[in-house]
A and B are shown apart, each in its own frame.
Chain A
Amino acid sequence: MARKLVVIGNGMAPGRALERLLEQAPDAYEITIFNAEPRVNYDRIMLSPVLSGEKAYEDILIHDDVWYADHGITLKKGCKAVGIDREAKTVAGADGSVVPYDKLLVATGSSPFIIPVPGKDLEGVLTYRDLDDVEAMLAAADKGASAVVIGGGLLGLEAAAGLKERGMDVTVLHLMPTLMERQLDAAAGYLLERAIEARGIKVVTGANTHEIVGDTRVEGVRLDDGAEIPADIVVMAVGIRPNADLARQAGLEVNRGIVVNDAMQTSDPDILAVGECVEHRGHCYGLVAPLYEMAKVVAERLLDKEAAYQGSVTSTRLKVTGIDLFSAGDFSEGKDREEIVLRDAVGGIYKRLVIRDDRLIGIVLYGDTKDGAWFFQLMKDGTPIDEMRETLIFGQNYAGGTPLDPTAAVAALPDDAEICGCNGVCKSKIVGAITEHGLTSLDGVRARTKASASCGSCTGLVEQLMAMTLGDGFTPDAVQPMCGCTDLGHDDVRRLIVAKELKSIPAVMQELEWKTSCGCAKCRPALNFYLIADWPGEYQDDYQSRFINERVHANIQKDGTYSVVPRMWGGMTSSAELRAIADVVDKFGIPTVKVTGGQRIDLLGVPKEDLPAVWADLNAAGMVSGHAYAKGLRTVKTCVGTDWCRFGTQDSTGLGVKIEKMMWGSWTPHKVKMAVSGCPRNCAEATCKDFGVVCVDSGYELHVGGAAGMHIKGTEVLCTVATEAEALEYCAAVVQLYREQGRYLERIYKWMDRVGLAAIREQVVEDAEKRTALFEKFLYSQRFAQKDPWAERVAGKDAHEFTPMNRIAMREAAE
């Protein structure tokens, strides 16, 4: 018969212990979990990406309801354990239940430390510990308010960066003179402070909080020196305290945390404890790697096997995009220590190694952390470093003359070298999983081993291990790089352009370490678009990074001549326009005139030299560029609507013209075609356009994600709105979202396939504030985009483009 195991707490540490237990002996125990939170087990170290918006709750779930059911675990969600009766060997729950145990695992975790100042209980004072905290912060962030984060440690800085990312005005208050002083020395702390400030976050060091001011809600924070900083929310991130009350009441030995021995037993041998609530050899841990090491020992011990936890050496990485920081060990100064320091002020790199008795005992890396794992391993192993001392600071590639092969570094690591600190996965486990299960993708390795599945900072190492194990059989598939000039994918590049405030193509290439000196025909147009879309009004368009069509504002044809398409708003024209077009055709001997699929007139076969003169004549008749060549809005096709049609329900022509007047000139990841139909008969074919409107009696049905080119795809209905003004706002909001999220040369339907219609709906339809913000951003960028490029060139812009540099006459160069 199975023994009974009761677990108090449902965080990451007991979750891992149960996983290990169930892997080895699925039926050894009948398991009951008391889970005070209403949610199942999720990855707490990923709260920062949820806060910054890079991940959603679903992405950070570790065990869903199905997992508990599959393993026959009784999960008492939202039920706190209120008492342990060690005599009767039972645990009492808040719901009145009493559950007997043979073995008890206490995993009550920790609580955020609240500094005891006046005002600490005001509404708007938050901690940064669980999803409820994140949700409270997000609710405040949406209002574009200001936040004060108390605590400039790891959590505080991640919270500050996330809130800033969400558009808040953020100040960090830190008691000590430099940030993260427990993990960093003063020099690295200074570099970090500069990097944090460069993102627009204010940092006040040596700041002693006197009180939090406000009547019922937070209004600000007053410091000891009298300075007052206004705030709509205050986030306390000053540290954690083990939750040991329940254990203390049960008479277990408790100091700062619940005292355990190397077998993870408390003072009662049938009661084990794991996680942030424990104290082992005088240490309490708040990082995930040691908790997982403890969990492994707990699982073994529950199965009556030999295993001992001997304490952990921990390392820290800051999870803020664009800031690379690694620290481990002890780096305080002392007579018995020597150090090796490397500084590169221009490159923003600082490395410091602390050595005692020929062994590495402390590591601080800032700006370049790729050797972190190697140094850490040397430190944990206590490897003597005298032979490589002179080149040690340059990292593994230089130490001992190891070749510069990227896989050589991981090849040299011992089998038990820890690759993934978050999940405690060592090299041999990854290599074993790859060969045993024939894994060829990063996702596969993540699914099997969890390596790099949490914070992701070891992804590069895992990929190198895969490359080493699989040889040529490995093609990194996690991210398709933009092109051969970089290993980064489109999404990473876009994210980093914003995060690092990169505002020119050379800046992107420099900061993101482009492998070519000036890119290629794939990445340059993409970067030019991303910069235009992300920095309207600030970015200077790089003309030489545009494809010829967008450079000369006409479409190149197979014989090197161009085609010219004047804009006809909503497909409407007039006798005067048609007459002017006819005159241009005659005057310039244009060989072909054709009506396009988008209700425009195309003049084909115009030599490049004639373009400015052709445009001048069309401009004179009131016509502007139709952007038939652009990755941008092409046309809005319409039917005649209520003006003429006996079935028309709304003024589809009028709305089409309005949409086109709002949208023209905007640059987008790929071409955008639109249409407005006056009734569900849909004569304008709006249901195969990137964005379409089908007028109905009650208003306007908005469609998105259609295509009728290489792929034929009907639209999805986004929603129905009542007024023209709403139709316009929703249309601009969808396009703006696409401009912000679409990858270059990704049509709207492909973007929609990737992010999901639900996500678009959520941001454009359900979230009115977000919609308005998108709409306004679009209109703002249009202020810089809506200039007729033809008129500019008629006036002389880029004149060199339309004339040869020289002609060498027949006589001079006769053949």
Chain B
Amino acid sequence: MNDMRPIEMQHWFTIGRLSDIPRRGARQVILPRGPIAVFRTQTDEVYAIEDRCPHKGGPLSQGIVHDGAVTCPLHNWVIDLQTGNAMGADQGCVRTYRTRTDENGLVSVSLAGPAG
């Protein structure tokens, strides 16, 4: 509770249940430094990335989710959810975060650094 270490040293934050996120959809989680987008794929994999398209800052959480990627709603860049890299001809990358889902369906995000 009184842990005042910088965020990079913090570890897992429980953010909600898997069922809170629609399949092939995303939810935002608001952090002081800006929102992250937490995605759930068709096959219930969960990915978290910075909610900011490397192109023009579009909210990736509002995009269409297909396989392991999301298409940005502003200009249709496609971002790989696992690596955070723009796919196809576009160049750019967003920060990724590790996630885990426990046996009770609780989803946590690690704010300690990029996903392995």
Q: Residues on A close to B: CB < 8 A? A: 516-521, 524-525, 543-549, 551-552, 556, 558, 560, 800, 804-810, 812-815
Q: Write the chain B residue with the least CB distance to A551.
A: B62
What residues of B have a CB within 8 angstroms of the CB of A815 in the complex?
6-7, 32-33
B13 to chain A, nearest CB (A): 6
A814 touches B7 (CB 8 A): yes
What residues of B have a CB within 8 angstroms of the CB of A804 in the complex?
27-30, 35
B15 touches A544 (CB 8 A): no
Choose among B16, B28, B32, B56 the residue that contacts A558 (Cβ–Cβ < 8 A).
Answer: B56
What residues of A have a CB within 8 angstroms of the CB of B15 in the complex?
805-806, 808
B27 touches A521 (CB 8 A): no
Confirm or deny: B20 has a beta carbon within 8 angstroms of a beta carbon on chain A.
yes
Known contacts A551-B62, A806-B30, then 4 further A-B pairs from the complex at CB < 8 Å, ordered by chain A residue: A518-B67, A556-B62, A806-B15, A814-B4
Q: In whole angstroms, what is the CA distance A502 to B57 when docked?
A: 38
What residues of B have a CB within 8 angstroms of the CB of A806 in the complex?
13, 15-16, 29-30
What residues of B have a CB within 8 angstroms of the CB of A544 in the complex?
22-25, 64-65
A518 touches B66 (CB 8 A): yes
Confirm or deny: B86 has a beta carbon within 8 angstroms of a beta carbon on chain A.
no
B87 to chain A, nearest CB (A): 11
Closest 8 CB pairs of A and B: A521-B71, A805-B27, A521-B64, A544-B24, A548-B62, A806-B15, A804-B28, A807-B30
A751 to chain B, nearest CB (A): 23
B42 touches A518 (CB 8 A): yes
B31 touches A548 (CB 8 A): no
Q: Write the chain B residue with the least CB distance to A516.
A: B67
Contact with A along B95-116 (1 / 0, CB 8 A): 0000000000000000100000
Confirm or deny: B78 has a beta carbon within 8 angstroms of a beta carbon on chain A.
yes
Q: In whole angstroms, what is the CA distance A55 to B59 when docked?
A: 46
Q: In whole angstroms, what is the CA distance A525 to B73 when docked?
A: 13
B70 to chain A, nearest CB (A): 8
What residues of B have a CB within 8 angstroms of the CB of A547 in the complex?
64, 73
B7 to chain A, nearest CB (A): 5
Give the secondary structure class of A's interface: loop
A558 touches B29 (CB 8 A): no
Q: In whole angstroms, what is the CA distance A521 to B32 when docked?
A: 30
B67 touches A548 (CB 8 A): no
Choose among A521, A543, A807 the residue that contacts B76 (Cβ–Cβ < 8 A).
Answer: A521
Interface size on B, residues (CB 8 A): 40
Q: Write the chain B residue with the least CB distance to A518.
A: B42
What residues of A have a CB within 8 angstroms of the CB of B94 in the complex?
none
Q: Write the chain B residue with the least CB distance to A807.
A: B30
Choose among B23, B58, B67 the residue that contacts A517 (Cβ–Cβ < 8 A).
Answer: B67
Confirm or deny: B93 has a beta carbon within 8 angstroms of a beta carbon on chain A.
no
Q: Write the chain B residue with the least CB distance to A484.
A: B88
Which chain B residues numbered 1 to 23 have a C-beta less than 8 Å away from chain A?
4, 6-7, 10, 13, 15-16, 20-23
Confirm or deny: B38 has a beta carbon within 8 angstroms of a beta carbon on chain A.
yes
Q: Write the chain A residue with the least CB distance to B17.
A: A805
Q: Residues on B close to A: CB < 8 A? A: 4, 6-7, 10, 13, 15-16, 20-25, 27-33, 35, 38, 42-43, 56-59, 62-67, 71, 73-74, 76, 78, 111
What residues of A have a CB within 8 angstroms of the CB of B66 in the complex?
516, 518-521, 524
A518 touches B24 (CB 8 A): yes
| 21 contacting pairs across A/B (C-beta < 8 A) | A516-B67, A518-B66, A520-B78, A521-B63, A521-B64, A524-B64, A545-B64, A551-B62, A552-B62, A560-B58, A800-B20, A805-B29, A806-B13, A806-B16, A808-B30, A809-B32, A813-B10, A813-B13, A814-B6, A814-B7, A814-B32
B31 touches A813 (CB 8 A): yes
A813 touches B29 (CB 8 A): no
Q: In whole angstroms, what is the CA distance A552 to B64 when docked?
A: 13
Choose among A517, A525, A558, A805 the residue that contacts B64 (Cβ–Cβ < 8 A).
Answer: A525
Choose among B6, B28, B56, B74 the residue that contacts A556 (Cβ–Cβ < 8 A).
Answer: B74
Choose among A521, A525, A560, A813 the residue that contacts B111 (Cβ–Cβ < 8 A).
Answer: A813
Q: In whole angstroms, what is the CA distance A465 to B34 when docked?
A: 55
What residues of A have a CB within 8 angstroms of the CB of B29 in the complex?
804-808
Q: In whole angstroms, what is the CA distance A808 to B16 when docked?
A: 11
Choose among B16, B62, B71 the residue that contacts A805 (Cβ–Cβ < 8 A).
Answer: B16
B71 touches A520 (CB 8 A): yes
A388 to chain B, nearest CB (A): 37
Choose among B20, B32, B43, B63 the residue that contacts A548 (Cβ–Cβ < 8 A).
Answer: B63
B10 to chain A, nearest CB (A): 6
What residues of A have a CB within 8 angstroms of the CB of B71 in the complex?
520-521
B41 to chain A, nearest CB (A): 8
A800 touches B22 (CB 8 A): yes
B94 to chain A, nearest CB (A): 15
What residues of B have a CB within 8 angstroms of the CB of A814 in the complex?
4, 6-7, 32
Q: In whole angstroms, what is the CA distance A159 to B66 when docked?
A: 41
Q: In whole angstroms, what is the CA distance A806 to B29 when docked?
A: 5
Q: Write the chain B residue with the least CB distance to A805.
A: B27
What residues of B have a CB within 8 angstroms of the CB of A810 in the complex?
32
Q: Write the chain B residue with the least CB distance to A546.
A: B64
Q: In whole angstroms, what is the CA distance A808 to B109 when docked?
A: 11
Q: In whole angstroms, what is the CA distance A738 to B78 when docked?
A: 30
A805 touches B20 (CB 8 A): yes
Q: In whole angstroms, what is the CA distance A89 to B13 when docked?
A: 101
What residues of A have a CB within 8 angstroms of the CB of B43 in the complex?
517
A556 touches B73 (CB 8 A): yes
What residues of A have a CB within 8 angstroms of the CB of B63 in the complex?
521, 548
What residues of A have a CB within 8 angstroms of the CB of B42 in the complex?
517-518
What residues of B have a CB within 8 angstroms of the CB of A551 in the complex?
62
Q: Write the chain B residue with the least CB distance to A815.
A: B7
Q: Write the chain A residue with the least CB distance to B111.
A: A813
Question: A521-B63, A804-B28 given as contacts; is B22 within 8 A of A812 (CB)?
Answer: no
B13 touches A808 (CB 8 A): yes
B105 to chain A, nearest CB (A): 14
Q: In whole angstroms, what is the CA distance A521 to B64 when docked?
A: 6
Q: Write the chain A residue with the least CB distance to B59.
A: A560
B23 touches A805 (CB 8 A): no
What residues of A have a CB within 8 angstroms of the CB of B74 in the complex?
556, 558
What residues of A have a CB within 8 angstroms of the CB of B20 in the complex?
800, 805
Question: A517-B42, A805-B16 given as contacts; is B27 within 8 A of A800 (CB)?
Answer: yes
A131 to chain B, nearest CB (A): 46
A456 to chain B, nearest CB (A): 31
A805 touches B28 (CB 8 A): yes
What residues of A have a CB within 8 angstroms of the CB of B27 in the complex?
800, 804-805
Q: In whole angstroms, what is the CA distance A590 to B68 when docked?
A: 36
B61 to chain A, nearest CB (A): 9
What residues of B have a CB within 8 angstroms of the CB of A556 in the complex?
59, 62, 73-74
What residues of A have a CB within 8 angstroms of the CB of B32 in the complex?
808-810, 813-815
What residues of B have a CB within 8 angstroms of the CB of A545 in the complex?
24, 64
A508 to chain B, nearest CB (A): 14
A815 to chain B, nearest CB (A): 5
What residues of A have a CB within 8 angstroms of the CB of B13 in the complex?
806, 808, 812-813
Q: Write the chain A residue with the least CB distance to B31.
A: A808
Of A520, A521, A800, A809, which is in contact with the most chain B CB atoms at under 10 Å from its CB?
A521
Q: In whole angstroms, what is the CA distance A560 to B4 when docked?
A: 31
Q: In whole angstroms, what is the CA distance A525 to B56 when docked?
A: 23
B33 touches A548 (CB 8 A): no
Q: In whole angstroms, what is the CA distance A560 to B24 when docked?
A: 20
Q: Write the chain B residue with the least CB distance to A517.
A: B67
A469 to chain B, nearest CB (A): 29
What residues of A have a CB within 8 angstroms of the CB of B65 in the complex?
544
B78 touches A521 (CB 8 A): yes
Q: In whole angstroms, what is the CA distance A227 to B95 when docked?
A: 73
What residues of B have a CB within 8 angstroms of the CB of A543 in the complex?
22
Of A518, A547, A805, A812, which is in contact with the most chain B CB atoms at under 10 Å from its CB?
A805
B69 to chain A, nearest CB (A): 8
A807 to chain B, nearest CB (A): 4
B56 to chain A, nearest CB (A): 7
What residues of B have a CB within 8 angstroms of the CB of A552 in the complex?
62
Q: In whole angstroms, what is the CA distance A543 to B65 when docked?
A: 11
B6 to chain A, nearest CB (A): 6
